[in-house]
Amino acid sequence: MNPASNLILVGPMGAGKTSVGRHLAGLLGLPLVDADHEIERDAGATVAQLFEREGEAGFRARERAMLAALLRRDGLVLATGGGCVLDAGNRALLRQRGFVVHLQAEVDQQLRRLAGDRSRPLLARPDRERVLRELADARTPLYAEVADLTYAPGDLDAQAAALQLAARLAQHWQRTGAAA
């Protein structure tokens, strides 16, 4: 058991980090913070615009700084961006500052969930399935490296997945700090 004050959700795009996280935060009485939304708010631009203007490297630098700032806080549910685990420093910070849940999603589930989503710069290509498979190959071992718990919601809706995950967390996570 990893006692921690923060609950951190990692996983691929379309896994439900934000939607499941919103319901989970409500169940736990904690605020949900979405790292990508905070980056957008801080930059005054969307993730897609940041990728276009600064490239992936520029976005990742912003992501690294935002993650460090957010994880100075205690008592939150943090929905990370799918690529935050690419940086070794981010992976160390995630492990140090929270209980990390890897939300899994199969590529076919991601394709269904992201079918109408045109806001994801890494999916702005004709062969989305190939892109998602390549991302999974590169990132899945990194999610596993940081995860205290792995959870696959399957085809459950966000609310049912959050309820099921909350039950699993009750067995695996001891919340510490003022919010405990």
Report pLDDT for 111.
73
Residue ranges of the chain with per-residue pLDDT less than 50? 178-180
Position 177 in a domain: no
CATH code: domain of residue 13: 3.40.50.300
**Residue 150, annotated ligand binder?**
no
Which string of b and e fits 13-29 if b means at least 16 CB within 10 Å?
Answer: bbbbbbbbbbbbbeebe
**Residue 36, annotated ligand binder?**
yes
Report pLDDT for 180.
42
Cβ neighbors of 34 (< 8 A, separation 6 or more) are 17, 18, 21, 79
* Domains identified in the chain, total number: 1
**Residue 16, annotated ligand binder?**
yes
Is the CB of residue 55 less than 8 Å from the CB of residue 63? no
**Full residue range of the structural domain in which residue 127 is found:** 7-170
Position 70 in a domain: yes
**Residue 139, annotated ligand binder?**
yes
pLDDT in tens, 140-170: 999 999 999 999 998 899 999 999 999 999 9
How far is residue 117's CA from residue 120's CA, in Å, rounded to a whole number?
Answer: 7
Position 179 in a domain: no
Position 129 in a domain: yes
Alpha-carbon distances of 91 from 28, 96, 117, rounded to whole Å: 24, 9, 27
Report pLDDT for 115.
77
**Residue 58, annotated ligand binder?**
no
pLDDT in tens, 125-139: 788 889 889 989 999
Report pLDDT for 2.
64
For the entire predicted model, the pTM comes to: 0.90
Position 160 in a domain: yes
Position 2 in a domain: no
Position 68 in a domain: yes
Position 178 in a domain: no
**Residue 60, annotated ligand binder?**
yes
Is the CB of residue 17 less than 8 Å from the CB of residue 143? no
How far is residue 3's CA from residue 122's CA, in Å, rounded to a whole number?
Answer: 34
